[in-house]
Structure 1
Amino acid sequence: MSAATTAAGAATADEELRWLADGRRIEAIEAISVSAMARRLPALVVRAFRLGWRIDRGAVGLLLTCQAVSAVLGAAGLFATTGTISALFGPGRVEDKLAHAAPSILVIAAAAGARSLLGITIRTVTIHLSPRISRAAEAEVLRATVAAELTAYDHAGYNDELEAADRGAEVCVDIVGEAQNLLASLASLLGAAGVLTVLHPALLPLLVIAALPQGIASVHAARVQFLANRATIGDRRIMANLRWYIHVKRNADQVRSDTMGEFLLAKYDQVGRRLDASSRRAAMQSARVSVIGAAASGLGGAVVWAAMLWLVSTGRMSLPRGGAAVFALTAVGTSLRGIVGYGADLFRTGMYLDDWSSFLDTAGGHRLERGTETPGAPRRIAVENLGYAYPASDRKVLDGVNLHVERGEILALVGENGSGKTTLAKLLAGLYLPDAGTVRWDGRDTRDLDPHALWRQVAVAPQDYARWPLTCRENITLGQPTAEGDAAVLRAADASGAADVVARLRRGLSTLLAVEWMGGEELSGGQWQRLAIARAFHREAGLLVLDEPTAALDPRAEHRIFQNLRAVARERAVVLVTHRLTNVAVADRIVVLEDGKVLQEGTFAELVAEEGGRFRELWDLQNERTGVPARRTRQDQRTVPDQRTRKDQRTLPVREDEGSGR
């Protein structure tokens, strides 16, 4: 098989990032009808005001009062309009007609002015309240995210559910305004319908029937737009990630040195075209049904006006009443269109809100559901027949692991990449729960412990440590200072070698470390790693986990860390994960992992002395350098053709003084 054929086969097998849609939810949404919308709208209005009520009861009370008063004034204005028309078109002199119509005209003017003031009040309160509701909804999503198991991020589709919940929180800014508009349209409809019913009972049913096709079309369009948005969540998240990879400083050097810019932009354009195609399909579907609905409603409106003209022309309705009916029909038509339009908007927002509330209820299906026992600083952490596999993977990362670590002891986990070291450390720290077997803190299963109380007894310096855009002090205390204050911070910084970093900062511990965001100071990778270790040393916890803690440190800084580790471990159980086997000499015991199983266990001296053992093999590989190619000699340099004379393969002349030491 040719290389080209192989490459083509590989290309067809490439996997793409896709959103895993919830089939049952999609089917439920597609089955939504006008009747379902009509049944659901009252609940959505109540839901909108409940959200507002939690934020500002006074504002919501004022909104509802203004809406009620506005509805009453609107009805009064319409009835006054009817009286004005009847007076003006009735028999008698013009002066008498005007005098008879004057009270109605005053009512119309007063109602219009008052409704304008109420409208301004409603808009002002809504503008003030809506962002607060959205912000509160976003905060609820953040709380639910923190309340999810760490393993949630390993499940396919969790991030898409989180994205949908974020979208739901975002549209919360519109829900009160949409509910207000719907209520305003409903209030106007009730007032106008009352007037129209008095004028002639047949007109109102005809007008409702005329508006029904537009309502059906609006519901269908809202459903199409929502489904299109849900279907493209994954693609929009991919585009956001690609934007981040392209412009963030962390990757900027590699984007340039690896000439990745055009390739990543091509990926971005490819996903964008996919989004455009989906949006175009949704827009065309919405347009088709909207045109049909508008045409049907237009035809129905013509029937209504024809019916009114017939009623007037046949004497079944007087001319003054006919004139009043014109105003009432216009008001009813506007109100019906408002109810249909605002109702469809609120309905669509409600579907997004369903994603939000569903995520809050279950944290995307991964809400923390553990025990309530509060652990203290552990004296002994024991692992019994431990098994763990990541979601959507058939391979066990850990299988049948048994070990323990006690307070004051340093336990080192070593092994090749993929042997399960980091996963085991996370299970010991209660960040993951085992699939099989148990992790026990002083005899109590971590499944039975309050997770937040457990994590307060854990200090972790992970491989990929966070670089918080906070002050140096906050980067060490993590917003949880001890009673000793800065004295404890400086002691931890000294033990981790970060004291030198603090001393060089412009304002010491008070210096912002956020050069990209707030104009603070920049640190190197090694300096950040010292701070990450300092925060673990500072934390008053019973279990200390150090995962490759010195990967970015120079030899002097690394030596300082391990020189101080024994003192730090005096009151803690310490788990050390590292590839640098010279560093594990500080450990009391060493566990060698391979393919998720414990292969060896013992002290440093015991494992180094065990000929043929895996630890000894890894030790020899790290310390043997006989396989490294020797340094190039001057004789080699003399025989290499110079690039400038490659055409005739001539070699450079050798200077007589070369090799003489001068």
Structure 2
Amino acid sequence: MSTRATGGDPSSSHAKPRSSDIPHQAGADRPTAPAVPSAPPAAAEPAEPDADEPVDQEPQFAPPGRDTAVALTRITTRAMAARLPRLIIRAMRLAWRADPGALIALLVCQVLAGLLEAGGLLATTGTITALISAGDVTDRLREALPSIVLLASAVGVRAVLGIAVVGLSARVTPRLTRESEWLLLQAASRAELAAYNHPGYQDRWDAADRGLQSMRGLMPQSQDVLAACASLIAAASVLTILHPVLLPLLLLGALPRGVAAVRGARVEYLTTLRTQDERRLLNMLRWHISDQRWADQVRACTMAPYLLNRYSIAAERVQRVTQAGAWTTAKIGLVGAAMGGLAASLVWATLAYLLSTGAMSVAAAGTAVIALRTVGTALGALVISGSRLYSVGLYLDDWARFLDEAGGHGMKRGTRTPNSPVVVRAEKVTYNYPGKATAAVDGVDLEVRKGRILALVGENGSGKSTLSRLLCGLYLPHEGRVTWDGNDIADLDPHAAWAHLGYVPQEIARWPLSARLNINLGQPRADDADALDRAAAASGADDVIAGLPRGLATLLAREWWGGIDPSVGQWQRFGIARALYAEPGLICLDEPTSALDPRAEHRIFAGLRDIARGSAVVLVTHRLANVAVADEIVVMESGRVVQRGAFEELLADTDGLFAELWRLQQDRGTESRGRS
């Protein structure tokens, strides 16, 4: 059974797009899609279908487990205030892992900046007092000189510290982002292969990838919050010394702006959630319009107008939701600014009252004015940076959850290290794909031994490919078990087990690397020239290599300077060579020669018996003539084994499915043509 495609190969000219890309982010190594007018002509409305005529489904992404409802309840002002300290701690931990020295320097700079600001504000009172007191101006200046020097020094040193903070943050951020991306990719590589069959997995990956992209703002926003807090503490301490009533009034004045900022972050985050499906659709459409793989069909089948129209409709939906969110955010900000202005008026009125009643001296009032402005600026920066950091934190949660759970599909297998398998056995194995009413593999028993070839045949959807992946340990059965030499595959360390596996899937990965690396990539003996030569000769890749301009050193990636792009059949030879290179104990070939010419195909199957002497071989194919080399042929239908035996035995059973499929493959209408 051919499972749906879940990922592309890394070569940028063939790689499937990352569904988290937003519509305007075209890949640097991929041609952009034809421009869509900002106001495309209205598409003709489709005719209403008849009542009995089914309506075509529209492409959409609606996996289960969406967190939108949860997000609506958790984005509150109280939640923001509670989460900010934890977010800053998380940022510090990540920064410590990336560059501990730079983090320590950053924190020292922030503390020193706060102390200098407090000292500067306190010096302001002494300066004003000396300047407005009675007496000779020279004496007053001399009296104010220490305060002036302290004030000027504080301003100068704080400016230097600010530059240092910016530089250190710029140093930490790329390292932190790189570390975070590595952790995310590591988590993805540890997910079960079956995860790609679950629609929710891709959704969680997209959310985690958005969290990774937002990571670039984690350190700058954290530093802005810390700087605002340091400035706020310094100025608030001075205000409390001058008159205790000023501080609570000022905090009250900042509350409306804080609430508005949090609600604005809520709207922005939810807008992203509501448009993520359409953005993914836009990315897929852009890829299909512009990618070389589909370029001939887009033109020959006149698909461009339809695809461009679908792109315009989806883009219009995204724009409509985004504009509505922006308008809502603007209204929230306007109300917050108005309420903040009224609260600020109350603060200044209180200050005027204290000054007029003599409760505060003129010098203290002057310092209070500067401190109020400082606190106001710090509160504004704290609200803005805090809301931005909180928004980053919402996406960062998605990243962290993926790391913890691998999208809910992390490998939970054993740790036993296996030897190269001699006997691979399936015992009452059943496997179900999500959303499917029937099992892809249903209660199958079979075994393959070292030195023997097992062929799996059947019609499309019969379960052949799924069963082969179960035997390889790429999937774990839902019922029954697969054993290697009596050991349940679920109890084995998966990476240690796969080191004994040579696997050739239906679609070969086209690594944008040299011909040599496309054969020995990831192999335990990466520098074994003899093994490479043997694998190339057995697969027919040696003929391809002989025609390359630089032999094994030739880059197999046409999109890079000096590289070439082999044909599909040539890529298939490299895939087979990669599977044979390490002489694994289990070799699985899933339609390994579908793109090969008859001569190359004959070469592979003529040498398959020699290959099988040191390995157990599982062969999946529709070409029944190729399975004559097999020791046992297993015929599958609807996930079950309906026949098994040697080639001649199955042909002799004229009523069996194998003989029927054989007759159909031999019949190309020659008899009817002769009668005519």
CA positional deviation for 1:7: 6.6
* Cα deviations by residue, 1:234-278 (Å, 9 ceiling, x for unpaired): 222222222222222222222222222222222222221121122
The alpha-carbon deviation at position 540 of structure 1 amounts to 3.0
Sequence identity (%): 50
Q: Distance in 1 between matches of 2:83 and 2:52?
A: 51
Distance 1:414 1:96 in 2: 105
Alignment match, 2:538? 495
Cα distance change on mapping 1:618 and 1:208 into 2, 3 Å: same
Question: Using the alignment, how far apart are the partners of 1:10 and 1:171 within structure 2?
Answer: 46
Give 2:667's match in structure 1, choosing from 608, 624, 629.
624
Q: Which amino acid aligns with 2:522?
A: G
Corresponding residue number in structure 2 for 1:384 = 427
Change (3 A) 1:592 1:294: same
Cα distance in 1 for residues equivalent to 2:160 and 2:418: 60
User: The residue matched to 1:468 in structure 2 has which SS?
Assistant: coil
CA change 1:428–1:493 in 2 (3 A) is: same
- 2:621 corresponds to 1:545: no
- Does residue 469 in structure 1 map to residue 526 in structure 2? no
Q: What is aligned with 1:606?
A: 649
Q: Partner residue of 2:330?
A: 287
Who is 2:486 aligned against?
443
For residue 6 of structure 1, report the CA deviation from its aligned partner.
5.2
- Say whether the 8 Å CA contact 1:193–1:332 is kept in structure 2: yes
Name which of 249, 256, 260 aligns with 1:213.
256
Paired with 1:198 and 1:455, the residues of 2 have a C-alpha distance of 69
SS of the aligned residue for 2:461 comes to coil
Matched, 1:561 2:604: yes
Q: 1:132 is matched with which residue? A: 175
The structure number with the bigger radius of gyration is 1
Superposed counterparts of 1:34-73, under 5 Å? 34-73=77-116
Partner of 2:633: 590
CA contact under 8 A between 1:90 and 1:320: conserved in structure 2? no
* Distance in 1, Cα, partners of 2:205 & 2:555: 31
3-state secondary structure, aligned to 2:516: helix
Within-5 A mapping of 1:222-301: 222-301=265-344
How far off its partner does 1:33 sit? 2.5
SS of residue in 2 equivalent to 1:232: helix
Q: Structure 1 CA distance, aligned partners of 2:114 and 2:422?
A: 70
Change (3 A) 1:188 1:51: same
Please provide the CA RMSD for this pair. Answer: 1.9
Point out where structure 1 has 5 or more consecutive residues left out of the alignment.
Answer: 634-662
Contact preservation (8 Å) 1:411, 1:574: yes
Which 10-residue stretch deviates more, 622-631 or 425-434? Answer: 622-631
Secondary structure in structure 1 of the residue aligned to 2:654: coil
Report if aligned partners of 1:545, 1:575 keep a CA contact under 8 Å in 2: yes
| Structure 1 residues 93 and 101: alpha-carbon distance in aligned structure 2, compared to 1, 3 A threshold | same
Q: CA deviation at 1:484?
A: 6.3
Secondary structure (helix, strand or coil) at the match of 1:157 reads helix
1:605 maps to a residue whose letter is E
Paired with 1:157 and 1:403, the residues of 2 have a C-alpha distance of 33
Partner amino acid for 1:197? T
Query: Using the alignment, how far apart are the partners of 1:14 and 1:484 within structure 2?
Result: 51
The one-letter code of the counterpart of 1:144 is A
Once the 2 structures are TM-superposed, how far is the Cα of residue 392 of structure 1 from its aligned partner?
A: 1.9
Match 2:121 to one of 74, 78, 82: 78
2:49 and 2:55 in contact (8 A); partners too: no
Amino acid at match of 2:530: A
Q: What's the CA shift for 1:9? A: 6.2
SS in 2 for 1:385: strand
Confirm or deny: 8 A CA contact 2:583 2:615 kept in the other structure.
no
- Please state how far the C-alpha of 1:103 moved relative to its aligned partner: 1.3
The answer on whether the counterparts of 2:99 and 2:175 sit within 8 Å (CA) in structure 1 is no
SS at 1:185 equivalent = helix
In 2: Cα distance, 1:73 partner to 1:9 partner: 78
Instruction: Please give the alpha-carbon distance, in whole angstroms, between the structure 2 residues aligned to 1:80 and 1:9.
Output: 85
The alignment partner of 1:195 has SS state of helix
Q: For 1:121, which of 154, 164, 180 is the aligned residue?
A: 164
User: What is the CA distance between 1:319 and its match in structure 2?
Assistant: 1.9
Give the superposition deviation at 1:316: 2.0
Decide which of 529, 534, 542 is 1:486's aligned counterpart.
Answer: 529
Structure 2 match to 1:94: 137
What is the number of residues matched between the two proteins? 631
Q: Distance in 2 between matches of 1:579 and 1:19?
A: 34
Alignment of 1:645-656 (within 5 A): none
1:307 is displaced (CA, Å) by 1.2
Q: Aligned to 2:247, which of 204, 218, 230?
A: 204
- TM normalised by structure 2 equals 0.90
Q: 1:231, CA displacement in angstroms?
A: 2.7
* Aligned equivalent of 1:646: none
1:349 corresponds to which of 366, 382, 392: 392
**Contact 1:30–1:223 under 8 Å retained in 2:** no
Instruction: Tell me how far 1:630 sits from its aligned partner.
Output: 3.5
Where structure 2 has 5 or more consecutive residues not aligned to the other structure, the ranges are: 1-45
| The 10-residue stretch of structure 1 (35-44 or 456-465) with the greater mean CA deviation from structure 2 | 35-44
Query: In the TM superposition, what is the alpha-carbon distance from 1:205 to its structure 2 partner?
Result: 0.8
TM-score by length of 1: 0.92
Offset of residue 8 of structure 1: 7.6
Q: Is the contact between residue 430 and residue 439 of structure 2 (CA under 8 Å) also seen in structure 1? A: yes
Structure 1 counterpart of 2:24: none
